[in-house]
Amino acid sequence: MKIERGRIYLMAERGDYTGKPRPVVVMQNPNVQLESVIVVPLTSYDADGSPIRVEIEPTLENGLQKRSFAMCDKITTLPKAKLGISIGTMDIGRLSEIKQVIVDLVDEGEALDETA
């Protein structure tokens, strides 16, 4: 199964930090094809402007049914077999925002203000 960065899938089962199956966005480099895939889970819970959550409005392109938030602090790796159906594709702008938040989370530079 070839996985593309930015594709949104329904995760086939609940994860360690997710109490139910949910959408995930693929963040893995498309040139790296492994048995597992790096994803960021999405939630409809609004964390009141948290800088580690990226807001995503539903569109026909992304296939989301309601406003969602990328839980960048919950980035995870899972077997490709746990990916369910693909529901859409994240727009490049939001995908870039998610990537930047992840970089900021692991960067040794200035800390994110989690109270913003």
At 82, list the tokens.
């746990």
pLDDT mean across residues, the chain? 88
Q: Specify the pLDDT at position 93.
A: 96
Q: What is the pLDDT of residues 30-39, one digit of tens each?
A: 898 899 999 9
What are the chain's domains? 7-106 (2.30.30.110)
- Please, are residues 70 and 44 in contact by the beta-carbon 8 Å criterion? no
CA 108 to CA 105: how far, in whole Å?
Answer: 8
Q: Specify the pLDDT at position 116.
A: 46
- Please, are residues 68 and 43 in contact by the beta-carbon 8 Å criterion? yes
Instruction: Look up the pTM and report it.
Output: 0.86
13, 40, 28, 8 alpha-carbon torsion, rounded to 10°? 70
Q: Specify the pLDDT at position 114.
A: 57
Q: What is the pLDDT of residues 43-63, one digit of tens each?
A: 998 877 788 999 999 999 999
